[in-house]
Structure 1
Amino acid sequence: MRNGRPPIPLAWAFVVAMALVAAFAPPSSAVADRTDTGRSNVDLVNPFIGTSGESDTEYGGMIPSTAPPFAMTRWSPMTRQNYVSHTPYHYSDTKISGFIGTHQPAIWMGDSGYVTGMPGVGSVKTSVDDRALPFSHADEHAAPDRYSVLLQAGSGRTLKAELTGTSRVGMLRTTYPEGTDTNFVLQATRSGITGNVHVDPAAREITGYNPDRQDSNLGPFKASHFKGYFVARFDTAFDSYGTATGAALHEGQDDRTDGDLSAYVRFPSGTRTVQVRIATSFISLPQARANLAAEAPDDRPFEQIAGKTRAQWNEKLNRVNLRGATADQRAIFYTSMYHALQYPSENSEHGRYYSAYDDQVHSGVSYTGYSLWDTYRAENAFLTLFAPERINGMVTSMLHDYREGGWLPMWKNLTETNIMVGTNADSVIAEDIAKGFTGFDRKLAYEAVHKDATSPPDKDTELAYYDRQEGTPVEARAGLTTYKQNGWVAADHTAESASRTLDYAYEDWAVAQVAKAVGKTDDAKMFLRRSANYKKLYNPATGFMQARNLDGSWAGDESGWTEGDKWVYTLDVLHDVPGLIDLMGGKKKFASWLDSYFAGGHNNHTNEPSHHAAYLYDDAGQPWKTQAKVREIAAANYANRTDGLSGNEDCGQMSAWYVLSSLGIYPVNPASAKYAVGSPFFDRAEVQLPAAERPLVITAKGAAKNPYIKSLSLNGRSVNQPVLSHTDLLKGGKLRFTMSDTRQSWGS
């Protein structure tokens, strides 16, 4: 995230208290389990969760997109122009100006090579404001596999639009009102961006490209040949056509290269239903046509395309079945899975991919949308459990980035953006190795993480590497020069120095694990020693972590942080919680400190550095507090409403936290391949993990009213500590929680 959130108001404590009451309330008697209703879990997803909030930026930042899991292009109604800090749909808007094929991974990132189509009646209107039509949410339906809406076209006329998509192709079916002139506008570029459109009446196609990459000002890789190509093929002949710049029509023109560019077509009199398939590609127009032929050929009807996308979501969402969950909890849970299974997104196209690092086309697999500062915490752990078939390709993709750009990605939006801090790909690779994934080049992976940990970025002693600073090389571990010299990043030389120091210490631990895996034992020992550098930021006089200057003096206690403060970052020692506890005076004092942290409103779940904090009571010998706090946080930050995400989704991290926490687990140190035990939310969750030997059946009878754990067993074996391994979960079987309404000593 990069959002400059305001502090949480004191009134939030009252909200949390009320939410806690709701969290422990019994499930509604009017709600039946899925096994009773027989409904697919896909039907329980509410794609409108996270589409609104108290401000235009401080909310989930999600859109009601339709596409398969990990789709390259997501298709969404467009109620506003999207750009950095604005997604194309917001629930508060009242008009739709198009249906967009978007590649925007998150609200704080920009789109790349997008394309927008919009049906219309009467005279052709090509400008965004002119072509927009009113709609009512009562006439709107969204699901992972399709979207539909009734648009009011004036004079009592209603236009029905239905949308579905494959990974690289969107399909829009429009039912026009009877007795009207019908048309369709396809917008390639916006003002200031020069693109191309070409109309081919014989082929019933509009083709072209959009070179806009809204984050092109960030990072050193300018990708000068980047284009988002599209082929829009209609099932209805054109009566007439033209191109447009803004609102100006160029009637009869079949080709134009310009800014603020669109093409339009009119259909013969009496036309009622028109279908258009819009294929996308980052490689070329021929590749877009190949994507169209492979994913949505002309003889494949709308319902079949939507059905295949639905089947792909069924395969994932029906792997978890819940009992003892309210209707709202089901919606939150399955929508969270729907969100988390969108990231990272496919960047390769049937065996080839365009690399914005070297501006070339390569063979192989590629993904983008790597918000690693966010997603290394729980999103990657979620993927190792629910999409293990993707993991080797995702790591291989990062290694391609390393080969083509010289570094592993930090925040990749087609190419490096240098947003956030730390080389958190180190953690992801270490976690995947620890969990037994072998389908990528481990030696190359170690070469890459070793470079992260040992090679300062260019101009490391000259640049401060501020947030979104332009004209910088790849940031990697900015400040690594002073970190290697003293054991901390110097606050008077590098921005966000204290957060970087703590991140680098954790990442050193992760690199040590990769070193062990490839037989580099001496390197592993060295990086393990360096992973203790977090201790050098602890100021015993204040009891907090604190930034330090190059000469060792303490910097201001509020300086040096990344989207957090001294309270949040004092807990940012994921790899050595026992060492942190000793540093802070032992378990009793640490638990008391945590009490003050939560009581003072310092836990900000809208941002990722707080996500593990509630689970630290496990290590402090008071796991019952973890169990209560996790329920409290879930109730306060997730809801089955359009404003149901308290913070930006951040490429699946917010939702991954909810899914894993609701099942009773969370990866405090993800690279350890272990999970802290929290408190399961439901009576029963049957989980069919793709890589598991058998289903994992998690039972916690009476969980809704009983947050505390009295005992825990796995396949009849007592579990007496609040920790489970990835291997434990993959064995499947019965994970049985005995719950209580009063605090228990289990796990302490």
Structure 2
Amino acid sequence: MLILSPLAMVKLGPDVQSGTADAYSGYLPNGNIWGFSMMHESGTGGAPKYGVVSQMPALGNISNPLADLSQGRASADQAQVGYYKASLNNGVVVELAATDHTGLYQYSFPKGNSPSIVVDVSHVLPSFRGLGWEQHYSKGNFSFFPDGHYEGSGTYNNGWNLSPDWNIYFCGRFNEQPSSSNTFKGTGTTLASYDTSSSVSGTERLGAVFTFNNSNVTSRVGISYISSSKACHNLDKEVPDQTSFQSLVDKAKSTWNTQVFSKVQVSSTNAADLQLLYSSLYGMFLIPSNLTGENPGWSSEQPYYSDVFTLWDTHRCHTPLFHILEPVAYEEFICSLIDIWRHDGFMPDARSSNYNGRVQGGSNADSVLADAYVKGVRGCIRWDDGFTAMLTDAETTPPNNHDPKAPDSSTKEGRGALPDWLKYGYITPTFTRAVSRAVEYSANDFGLFQVAKGLGKKTEADKYLKRSRNWRNHWNPNCTSNGHSGFVVPRRADGSFIDQDPLNCGGCYWGDAYYEDNAWVYSMNALHDVATLKKFIGGDDKFVDRINKLFDLKIFNAGNEPGFTSPYLYNFVPGKQHLSAQRSRDISKLYNSGTGGLPGNSDAGAMESNILWQMIGLWPMTGQTTFLVLSPWFPQMTIELGNGKTLKISTTGGNKDTAFYVQSLKVNGKQWDKAWVTWQDIFENGGTMDFVLGSNVAEWSTGEPPPSPASGDQ
């Protein structure tokens, strides 16, 4: 998928069909290409979104543009930053480049054939999962203009976030006048009309077929959420006539190098490690989309971002790294979350096509805002409004959107199970995902405590600190599994616990008590209250064994976000940091720089940011200023922090693969005996971390354990 700049609106790429496989981001490595469309979301699960404003090249007489025009690949796709090439079985070669709001298609047709390009307004990415999350085309329009350009729009709905109708507008130009231009409309694959009409509109499938005399055709397309005239403006501004294809490729490379890749410099000659590093940085910054100036919902001076998929996935390790590597865009993103609340009523946990949805657990924008606040992000952020937005999540039950997968309460925004949370201090089986939501609501309330404390709101701080401990109300000390007692389990309104096998979470999905993991994992997720968690589990030795069991019993899944932090909780036990380093290296072996090199969906860069933190040798504790120390990969790494500040990390005496145990550590030149550092230590003003590594375990981390800020008052 091609984008000029990190977080750009246009994400141009192929749409591939292969049986009943969902092509979440359009692309599949095998199958036929059936269009090249302007909008995608990278690395998402659930169901596809977008795949709109599509073109498909074809040869010969196109008697029915609604028929299947898909083509297999004659050879493997080729791609690099800012460039994509597909060679189709019919001999057509398609090359793509893009800018923030436009796409450039370069077609090479085999000579001696009649080249055509089909623009299908009804084209969307389908879903075959049967969950009711498939996209729908509602209506469209298409018009030719005397100067040869065309304009139109499409209206679509649904997708993974169950959005109502939304519009995208387009404007296209070719490098030469077509020899013929025909509009079409129809239902399914049945044509209702196919003629030279200058415009067509309605609820039927519709679009146009352009035929050319020459074998080399360039197509330029601009898009906008505002109007077709804005789409034309974007096109003429970003890709004026005579713009060379190579200039866009070169600009994309330069932009990515300047804005992202150059932020992380390492000393390494290992090509696979370097490829994994920089491809992970690329994958991390594809979404959300910066739609500032393209907001169709309201007029505001604040930045605007959409395509948030989803803070449930990204708040653990993506947003903390987003802050470090792209601080300006990150500040804008936080401002946008708050501005969405101002105008839509709630901050999103997820958002696409300018519509909130879907909430998998808690209101994790609260944790993201808290993370930004405690790390000093200010700028355009009005923190009184930010805290009020968080209060909305904490105190206002959102209207039920009647999601068929979880009809008990809203999956659109906010905290649907809030009535139980306020009444009981826990969540009963009246609500789906009761236990996992309770654990997340506790973390979200801890976020409110952090911001309230910083703003001097003592009453509110005390209230939400207390509420952040409510995860304890789901703790059943008599629930046992594999030599351990005490797990978070479902609880009835009368206060009694429900018998629960901690290894069994049913389907681990929308209708179950736990979402995407079981009680073993969620019982380790009170990351703001670890000291209490250790006490409940039975002390340091039991705590270490509890983490070990996640691996011994094959519970841990590196592709499942709820368990992301668990492998590094050894750092909360003095002298056990080496176990976190070992787990980090084991997890890193699940990644590679080739096809299938992630241990799951990218999940909007969550997986890529995970491996990047392993390379850095740190792990963030979202909503806190704490970073757990792991083991860096490279002899030298420099991270640019902005305003001339850097974090420089060095390692001596070891190597990434076999000699990665920390022997000693200096932070800013001072000998260090803690298995953690703070934002202020190394990121606020920059700093240095100098590691000595070796092949043997060294008991260096004997200092005080990381903070456990919700554990002070038991």
TM-score of the aligned structures, taking structure 1 as reference length: 0.84
The DSSP-based 3-state class of the residue aligned with 1:617 is helix
Q: Select 2:113's aligned residue among 162, 174, 180.
A: 180
Decide which moves more: 735-744 or 554-563.
Answer: 554-563
**Residues 272-671 of structure 1 mapped to structure 2, 5 A cutoff:** 272-315=215-258, 316-324=260-268, 326-349=270-293, 352-355=294-297, 360=298, 362=300, 364-370=302-308, 371-413=310-352, 414-439=354-379, 440-458=381-399, 467-469=405-407, 472=410, 474-491=412-429, 493-542=430-479, 543-557=486-500, 558=505, 560-621=513-574, 622-636=576-590, 638-667=591-620, 669-671=621-623
Q: What secondary structure is seen at the aligned counterpart in 1 of 2:158?
A: coil
| Residues 409 and 416, structure 2, Cα contact 8 Å, conserved in 1 | no
2:544 aligned counterpart, secondary structure: helix
Query: Over residues 277-325 of structure 1, what are the superposed CA-to-partner deviations in whole Å (9 max), with x where a residue is unaligned?
Result: 1111111111111211232222422222222211111111122222346
- Aligned ranges for residues 115-126 of structure 1 at < 5 Å? 115-124=53-62
- In structure 2, runs of 5+ residues without a counterpart are 125-135, 480-485, 506-511, 703-714
Q: Residues of 1 paired with 2:152 and 2:408: CA distance?
A: 30
Mapped to 2, the partners of 1:624 and 1:340 lie a distance apart of: 28
**Could you report, residue by residue, the CA deviation over 1:678-729 in whole angstroms, capped at 9, with x for unpaired residues?**
1112222222233552352433553222121001112311221111222333
1:708 is matched with 661
Residues 358-379 of structure 1 deviation map (CA, whole Å, 9 limit, x = unaligned): xx55554211122011111111
Confirm whether residue 170 of structure 1 aligns to residue 107 of structure 2: no
Q: Is residue 428–residue 490 contact of structure 2 (8 Å, CA) maintained in 1?
A: yes
CA deviation digits over 1:94-150, x for unaligned, max 9? 432221112435232442471111222222366476322231444x21122110122
SS in 2 for 1:86: coil
Residue in 1 that maps onto 2:699: 745
User: Which moves more between the two structures, 687-696 or 330-339?
Assistant: 687-696
* 1:67-89 deviations in Å (ceiling 9; x for gaps): 42101120111212999953254
Does structure 1 conserve the Cα–Cα contact (< 8 Å) formed by 2:357 and 2:411? no
Mapped partners of 2:637, 2:120: distance in 1: 46
Partner residue of 1:33?
none
1:35-75 CA distance string (max 9 Å, x none): xxxxxxxxxxxxxxxxxxxxxxxxxxxxx444421011201
Asked whether the 8 Å contact 1:465–1:475 carries over to 2, the reply is: no
SS of match in other structure, 2:445: helix
Gaps of 5+ in 1: 1-63
Provide the rounded CA distance (Å) in 1 between the counterparts of 2:15 and 2:568: 39
Amino acid in structure 2 at the alignment position of 1:452:
D
CA distance in 2, matches of 1:172, 1:233: 11
Instruction: Name the SS of the counterpart of 1:172 in structure 2.
Output: strand
AA of the residue aligned to 1:398: L
Q: Distance in 2 between matches of 1:464 and 1:73?
A: 32
Return closer, same or farther for 1:194/1:407 CA change in 2, 3 Å cut-off.
Answer: closer
Distance 2:524 2:637 in 1: 31
What SS is found at the alignment partner of 1:213? strand
Q: Give me the CA root mean square deviation.
A: 2.5
Give the C-alpha shift of residue 190 in structure 1.
Answer: 4.1
SS in 2 for 1:212: strand
**1:493-529 Cα distance to aligned partner (Å, 9 max, x none):** 1111111111111111111111122221111111111
Shift in Å, 1:741: 0.7
- Please state whether the residue corresponding to 2:17 is helix, strand or coil: coil
- 1:30 aligned residue: none
Change in CA separation of 1:163 and 1:448 when aligned onto 2, cut-off 3 Å: same
Q: 1:546 and 1:420 mapped to 2: Cα distance?
A: 18
Give 1:11's aligned residue: none
Asked if structure 2 preserves the Cα contact closer than 8 Å seen for 1:238 and 1:265, the reply is yes
Partner amino acid for 1:663?
I
Judged with a 3 Å threshold, the aligned counterparts in structure 2 of structure 1 residues 690 and 384 are, in CA distance, closer, same or farther, namely same
Instruction: Between the two structures, name the one with larger relative contact order (CA 8 Å, sep ≥ 6).
Output: 1
Say if 2:682 and 2:688, in contact at 8 Å, map to a contact too. Answer: no
- Deviation track 1:332-367 (CA, whole Å, cap 9, x = no partner) reads 221111111112112233xx5113xxxx55554211
1:686 pairs with 638, 661, 664, which one?
638
| Alignment coverage as a number of residue pairs | 662
Deviation digits for residues 523-578 of structure 1 (CA, Å, limit 9, x no counterpart) = 11111111111222211112211121111111242461111101111111111212
Cα distance, 1:159 vs. partner? Answer: 2.3
Post-superposition offset of 1:184:
1.1
**Which amino acid counterpart does residue 417 of structure 2 have in structure 1?**
G
Say if 2:154 is the partner of 1:210: yes
Question: In structure 2, what is the equivalent of residue 262 of structure 1?
Answer: 207
Change in CA separation of 1:515 and 1:69 when aligned onto 2, cut-off 3 Å: same
Which residue among 611, 627, 632 is the counterpart of 1:675?
627
**Compared with structure 1, are the counterparts of its residues 490 and 318 closer, same or farther at alpha carbon in structure 2 (3 Å cutoff)?**
same
Moved more, 648-657 or 719-728: 719-728
**Is 2:36 aligned against 1:95?**
no
- Aligned-partner SS, 2:331: helix
CA distance in 1, matches of 2:343, 2:28: 40
1:150 aligns with 2:87: yes
> How big is the shift at 1:665?
0.7
SS across alignment from 1:456: coil
Q: Name the CA distance, whole Å, in 2 between partners of 1:178 and 1:300.
A: 25
Paired residue for 1:8?
none
- Post-superposition Cα deviations, 1:599-627, rounded to whole Å, max 9, x if no partner, equal 11111111100100111011123111100
- Pick one of 213, 238, 243 that aligns with 2:183: 243
Give the match's secondary structure for 1:133. coil
SS in 1 for 2:36: strand
Whether the 8 Å contact between 2:409 and 2:417 is mirrored in structure 1 is no
Extract structure 1 runs of 4+ deviating beyond 6 A. Answer: 81-84, 463-466
d(CA) in 2 for partners of 1:170, 1:470: 42
Pair 130,505 (structure 1): closer, same or farther in 2 beyond 3 Å: closer
1:162 offset after TM fit, Å? 1.0
Query: Contact 1:125–1:247 at 8 Å: present in 2 too?
Result: no
List per-residue Cα deviations over 1:191-225 (Å, max 9, x = no partner).
97343343435322222111113338736xx3x5x
Report the secondary structure of 1:108's partner residue.
coil
Identity, % of aligned positions: 24
Displacement, 1:471? Answer: 8.9
Q: Does 1:729 align with 2:662?
A: no
**Partners in 2 of 1:435 and 1:691 — Cα distance?**
16
Q: Contact 2:578 / 2:662 at 8 angstroms: preserved in 1?
A: yes
In 1, are the aligned partners of 2:54 and 2:123 still within 8 Å (CA)?
A: no
